Structure 1
Amino acid sequence: MTLGTRLRERRERFGKTQLDAARELGISNVQLSRYESDGRKPDPEMLGRFAEYYRTSADYLLGLTDDPTADTYAPPPSEGYSDFERFINDPEHGAFFKEFLNAPEESKEEMRRFWEYLQVRERGRKPGDRQGE
Protein backbone atom coordinates (compact mmCIF):
# COMPACT_ATOMS: atom_id res chain seq x y z
CA MET A 1 0.00 0.00 0.00
CA THR A 2 1.41 3.42 -0.95
CA LEU A 3 1.68 6.52 1.24
CA GLY A 4 -1.13 8.14 -0.74
CA THR A 5 -3.37 5.11 -0.31
CA ARG A 6 -2.72 5.10 3.43
CA LEU A 7 -3.48 8.81 3.70
CA ARG A 8 -6.77 8.34 1.84
CA GLU A 9 -7.65 5.26 3.92
CA ARG A 10 -7.09 7.14 7.19
CA ARG A 11 -9.07 10.17 6.00
CA GLU A 12 -11.99 7.99 4.97
CA ARG A 13 -11.81 6.06 8.24
CA PHE A 14 -12.51 9.31 10.08
CA GLY A 15 -15.32 10.22 7.67
CA LYS A 16 -13.56 13.32 6.37
CA THR A 17 -13.88 14.71 2.86
CA GLN A 18 -10.73 15.88 1.12
CA LEU A 19 -11.94 19.45 1.47
CA ASP A 20 -12.58 19.12 5.23
CA ALA A 21 -9.25 17.42 5.90
CA ALA A 22 -7.34 19.93 3.77
CA ARG A 23 -8.90 22.87 5.63
CA GLU A 24 -8.17 21.34 9.02
CA LEU A 25 -4.58 20.54 8.00
CA GLY A 26 -4.07 24.06 6.61
CA ILE A 27 -3.34 22.96 3.04
CA SER A 28 -5.22 23.21 -0.23
CA ASN A 29 -7.58 20.52 -1.46
CA VAL A 30 -5.41 20.18 -4.58
CA GLN A 31 -2.31 19.62 -2.44
CA LEU A 32 -4.06 16.92 -0.39
CA SER A 33 -5.29 15.29 -3.60
CA ARG A 34 -1.72 15.16 -4.91
CA TYR A 35 -0.50 13.56 -1.68
CA GLU A 36 -3.28 10.97 -1.82
CA SER A 37 -2.62 10.15 -5.48
CA ASP A 38 1.13 9.85 -4.84
CA GLY A 39 1.75 12.77 -7.20
CA ARG A 40 3.58 14.57 -4.42
CA LYS A 41 5.45 13.42 -1.30
CA PRO A 42 5.02 15.33 1.97
CA ASP A 43 8.05 16.85 3.66
CA PRO A 44 8.87 15.54 7.18
CA GLU A 45 6.87 18.30 8.90
CA MET A 46 3.79 17.58 6.80
CA LEU A 47 4.18 13.84 7.35
CA GLY A 48 4.17 14.49 11.10
CA ARG A 49 1.05 16.63 10.79
CA PHE A 50 -0.68 13.85 8.84
CA ALA A 51 0.29 11.28 11.47
CA GLU A 52 -1.02 13.42 14.29
CA TYR A 53 -4.19 14.45 12.46
CA TYR A 54 -5.03 10.87 11.43
CA ARG A 55 -4.05 9.50 14.86
CA THR A 56 -1.45 7.11 13.56
CA SER A 57 2.31 6.94 13.20
CA ALA A 58 4.58 8.13 10.43
CA ASP A 59 5.85 4.54 10.32
CA TYR A 60 2.37 3.37 9.34
CA LEU A 61 1.96 6.08 6.71
CA LEU A 62 5.37 5.23 5.24
CA GLY A 63 4.58 1.50 5.15
CA LEU A 64 7.13 0.52 7.80
CA THR A 65 4.35 -1.13 9.82
CA ASP A 66 0.89 -2.36 8.93
CA ASP A 67 -0.54 -1.42 12.33
CA PRO A 68 -2.30 1.94 12.03
CA THR A 69 -2.80 2.07 15.80
CA ALA A 70 0.94 1.99 16.50
CA ASP A 71 0.82 5.58 17.65
CA THR A 72 4.23 6.93 18.56
CA TYR A 73 2.84 10.26 19.77
CA ALA A 74 3.81 10.73 23.39
CA PRO A 75 1.47 12.71 25.61
CA PRO A 76 2.68 16.21 26.39
CA PRO A 77 4.53 16.75 29.66
CA SER A 78 2.47 17.57 32.70
CA GLU A 79 3.25 21.27 32.35
CA GLY A 80 1.43 21.19 28.98
CA TYR A 81 -1.59 19.76 30.73
CA SER A 82 -1.54 22.57 33.27
CA ASP A 83 -1.67 25.14 30.45
CA PHE A 84 -4.59 23.25 28.98
CA GLU A 85 -6.36 22.96 32.33
CA ARG A 86 -5.80 26.66 33.00
CA PHE A 87 -7.24 27.51 29.57
CA ILE A 88 -10.41 25.46 29.98
CA ASN A 89 -10.98 26.70 33.52
CA ASP A 90 -10.88 30.33 32.40
CA PRO A 91 -14.51 31.57 32.67
CA GLU A 92 -14.32 33.00 29.14
CA HIS A 93 -13.30 29.62 27.71
CA GLY A 94 -14.88 27.28 30.21
CA ALA A 95 -18.32 27.27 28.60
CA PHE A 96 -16.83 25.77 25.46
CA PHE A 97 -15.06 23.01 27.39
CA LYS A 98 -17.60 22.55 30.20
CA GLU A 99 -17.97 18.86 29.42
CA PHE A 100 -14.23 18.19 29.65
CA LEU A 101 -14.07 17.48 33.36
CA ASN A 102 -16.86 14.88 33.15
CA ALA A 103 -15.69 13.33 29.89
CA PRO A 104 -14.25 9.81 29.67
CA GLU A 105 -10.45 9.70 29.86
CA GLU A 106 -10.18 8.78 26.15
CA SER A 107 -12.08 11.94 25.19
CA LYS A 108 -9.96 14.04 27.53
CA GLU A 109 -6.79 12.69 25.91
CA GLU A 110 -8.14 13.49 22.45
CA MET A 111 -8.92 17.07 23.53
CA ARG A 112 -5.43 17.44 25.01
CA ARG A 113 -3.84 16.19 21.79
CA PHE A 114 -5.92 18.59 19.73
CA TRP A 115 -4.85 21.41 22.06
CA GLU A 116 -1.19 20.49 21.51
CA TYR A 117 -1.78 20.34 17.74
CA LEU A 118 -3.25 23.86 17.81
CA GLN A 119 -0.37 25.20 19.87
CA VAL A 120 2.19 23.80 17.43
CA ARG A 121 0.22 24.95 14.40
CA GLU A 122 -0.18 28.50 15.67
CA ARG A 123 3.37 28.89 16.99
CA GLY A 124 5.00 31.93 15.41
CA ARG A 125 1.74 33.37 14.08
CA LYS A 126 1.77 37.16 14.19
CA PRO A 127 -1.19 39.46 14.87
CA GLY A 128 -3.03 40.01 11.63
CA ASP A 129 -1.96 36.68 10.11
CA ARG A 130 -4.81 34.46 9.03
CA GLN A 131 -5.37 31.49 11.30
CA GLY A 132 -3.42 28.41 10.20
CA GLU A 133 -0.79 30.37 8.26
Structure 2
Amino acid sequence: MTLGSRLRERRERLGKTQLTAAKDLGISNVQLSRYESDDRKPEPDLLGRFAEYYKTTADYLLGLTNDSTLEGTAAPATEAAAFEEFMRNPEHGLFFKDYLDAPEARQEEMLRFWTFIREQERLRKSDRDKE
Protein backbone atom coordinates (compact mmCIF):
# COMPACT_ATOMS: atom_id res chain seq x y z
CA MET A 1 0.00 0.00 0.00
CA THR A 2 1.18 3.51 -0.77
CA LEU A 3 1.19 6.47 1.59
CA GLY A 4 -1.84 7.86 -0.22
CA SER A 5 -3.81 4.64 0.03
CA ARG A 6 -2.99 4.37 3.74
CA LEU A 7 -4.14 7.95 4.32
CA ARG A 8 -7.40 7.23 2.51
CA GLU A 9 -7.86 3.91 4.34
CA ARG A 10 -7.40 5.53 7.77
CA ARG A 11 -9.71 8.43 6.91
CA GLU A 12 -12.43 6.07 5.73
CA ARG A 13 -11.96 3.78 8.74
CA LEU A 14 -12.68 6.78 10.98
CA GLY A 15 -15.77 7.63 8.89
CA LYS A 16 -14.42 11.02 7.80
CA THR A 17 -15.06 12.67 4.47
CA GLN A 18 -12.19 14.32 2.63
CA LEU A 19 -13.77 17.69 3.27
CA THR A 20 -14.10 17.12 7.02
CA ALA A 21 -10.62 15.66 7.39
CA ALA A 22 -9.03 18.46 5.36
CA LYS A 23 -10.80 21.10 7.45
CA ASP A 24 -9.76 19.41 10.72
CA LEU A 25 -6.16 19.13 9.51
CA GLY A 26 -6.05 22.76 8.36
CA ILE A 27 -5.40 21.97 4.69
CA SER A 28 -7.53 22.26 1.57
CA ASN A 29 -9.64 19.43 0.23
CA VAL A 30 -7.57 19.59 -2.97
CA GLN A 31 -4.35 19.11 -0.99
CA LEU A 32 -5.74 16.09 0.84
CA SER A 33 -6.94 14.62 -2.44
CA ARG A 34 -3.44 15.01 -3.90
CA TYR A 35 -1.88 13.31 -0.87
CA GLU A 36 -4.37 10.44 -1.06
CA SER A 37 -3.75 9.97 -4.80
CA ASP A 38 0.03 10.06 -4.27
CA ASP A 39 0.37 13.17 -6.45
CA ARG A 40 2.13 14.93 -3.54
CA LYS A 41 4.01 13.88 -0.43
CA PRO A 42 3.34 15.65 2.88
CA GLU A 43 6.07 17.51 4.75
CA PRO A 44 7.24 15.84 8.00
CA ASP A 45 5.14 18.07 10.27
CA LEU A 46 1.99 17.32 8.27
CA LEU A 47 2.81 13.61 8.28
CA GLY A 48 2.87 13.80 12.08
CA ARG A 49 -0.48 15.59 12.08
CA PHE A 50 -1.93 12.90 9.80
CA ALA A 51 -0.71 10.17 12.14
CA GLU A 52 -2.15 11.91 15.19
CA TYR A 53 -5.46 12.74 13.51
CA TYR A 54 -5.89 9.24 12.06
CA LYS A 55 -4.88 7.63 15.37
CA THR A 56 -1.96 5.70 13.90
CA THR A 57 1.80 6.03 13.53
CA ALA A 58 3.93 7.70 10.88
CA ASP A 59 5.63 4.31 10.43
CA TYR A 60 2.31 2.81 9.38
CA LEU A 61 1.51 5.67 7.00
CA LEU A 62 4.98 5.40 5.44
CA GLY A 63 4.61 1.64 4.97
CA LEU A 64 7.38 0.77 7.42
CA THR A 65 4.99 -1.44 9.37
CA ASN A 66 1.61 -2.98 8.73
CA ASP A 67 0.58 -2.42 12.34
CA SER A 68 -1.73 0.61 12.30
CA THR A 69 -2.24 0.62 16.07
CA LEU A 70 -0.53 2.94 18.48
CA GLU A 71 0.38 0.03 20.76
CA GLY A 72 4.08 -0.64 21.02
CA THR A 73 5.11 2.88 20.14
CA ALA A 74 7.47 4.70 22.45
CA ALA A 75 5.83 6.53 25.30
CA PRO A 76 5.78 10.31 24.75
CA ALA A 77 7.76 10.90 27.95
CA THR A 78 10.47 8.54 26.71
CA GLU A 79 10.60 10.24 23.32
CA ALA A 80 10.72 13.66 24.96
CA ALA A 81 13.57 12.60 27.26
CA ALA A 82 15.55 11.16 24.35
CA PHE A 83 14.91 14.30 22.34
CA GLU A 84 16.08 16.56 25.15
CA GLU A 85 19.25 14.48 25.54
CA PHE A 86 19.86 14.78 21.79
CA MET A 87 19.31 18.55 21.96
CA ARG A 88 21.78 19.06 24.78
CA ASN A 89 24.57 17.95 22.46
CA PRO A 90 26.03 21.26 21.21
CA GLU A 91 26.28 19.89 17.68
CA HIS A 92 22.57 19.02 17.58
CA GLY A 93 20.91 21.40 19.98
CA LEU A 94 21.37 24.51 17.90
CA PHE A 95 18.78 23.27 15.42
CA PHE A 96 16.15 22.98 18.15
CA LYS A 97 17.53 25.64 20.49
CA ASP A 98 14.14 27.11 21.32
CA TYR A 99 12.54 23.76 22.29
CA LEU A 100 12.94 24.10 26.05
CA ASP A 101 11.37 27.57 26.09
CA ALA A 102 8.70 26.88 23.47
CA PRO A 103 4.99 26.50 24.27
CA GLU A 104 3.83 22.91 24.73
CA ALA A 105 2.16 22.70 21.29
CA ARG A 106 5.38 23.82 19.59
CA GLN A 107 7.38 21.31 21.64
CA GLU A 108 5.08 18.51 20.50
CA GLU A 109 5.50 19.57 16.86
CA MET A 110 9.30 19.67 17.20
CA LEU A 111 9.27 16.27 18.91
CA ARG A 112 7.25 14.75 16.05
CA PHE A 113 9.70 16.23 13.54
CA TRP A 114 12.68 14.86 15.45
CA THR A 115 11.05 11.42 15.69
CA PHE A 116 10.60 11.45 11.91
CA ILE A 117 14.24 12.46 11.36
CA ARG A 118 15.46 9.76 13.74
CA GLU A 119 13.36 7.11 11.97
CA GLN A 120 14.70 8.16 8.58
CA GLU A 121 18.26 7.85 9.90
CA ARG A 122 17.46 4.40 11.29
CA LEU A 123 16.19 3.36 7.86
CA ARG A 124 19.31 4.71 6.13
CA LYS A 125 21.50 2.73 8.52
CA SER A 126 19.41 -0.38 7.91
CA ASP A 127 19.79 0.04 4.14
CA ARG A 128 23.57 0.47 4.49
CA ASP A 129 23.77 -2.68 6.62
CA LYS A 130 22.03 -4.66 3.86
CA GLU A 131 24.66 -3.66 1.27
Per the normalisation by structure 1, the TM-score is 0.55
Offset of residue 73 of structure 1: 6.6
- Alignment partner, residue 67 of structure 1: 67
Structure that is richer in helix per residue: 2
Distance in 2 between the 1:32 and 1:45 partners?
A: 15
Matched, 1:120 2:105: yes
Aligned residues of 2:55 and 2:70 also touching (Cα < 8 A) = no
**Structure 1 unaligned blocks of 5 or more:** 78-118, 124-133
Aligned residues of 1:7 and 1:36 also touching (Cα < 8 A) = yes
Matches within 5 A, 1:25-64: 25-64=25-64
Question: How many residues are matched?
Answer: 81
Structure 1 stretches of at least 4 aligned residues deviating more than 4 Å after TM superposition: none
Kindly indicate whether structure 1 or structure 2 has the higher relative contact order, using CA contacts under 8 Å at least 6 residues apart.
2
Aligned residues of 1:52 and 1:73 also touching (Cα < 8 A) = no
Distance in 1 between the 2:27 and 2:76 partners?
A: 25
Per the normalisation by structure 2, the TM-score is 0.56
Offset of residue 15 of structure 1: 0.1
Distance in 2 between the 1:2 and 1:50 partners?
A: 14
Aligned residues of 2:3 and 2:61 also touching (Cα < 8 A) = yes
**Structure 2 unaligned blocks of 5 or more:** 79-103, 109-131
User: Once superposed, what is the RMSD of the aligned Cα atoms?
Assistant: 2.2
Distance in 1 between the 2:74 and 2:11 partners?
A: 18
Cα 1:28–1:76 change in 2 (3 A) is farther
Deviation sequence 1:44-87 (CA, Å, 0-9, x none) = 0000000000010000000000010045373569xxxxxxxxxx
Cα 1:47–1:19 change in 2 (3 A) is same
Aligned residues of 1:60 and 1:70 also touching (Cα < 8 A) = no
- Match of 2:27, SS state, is coil
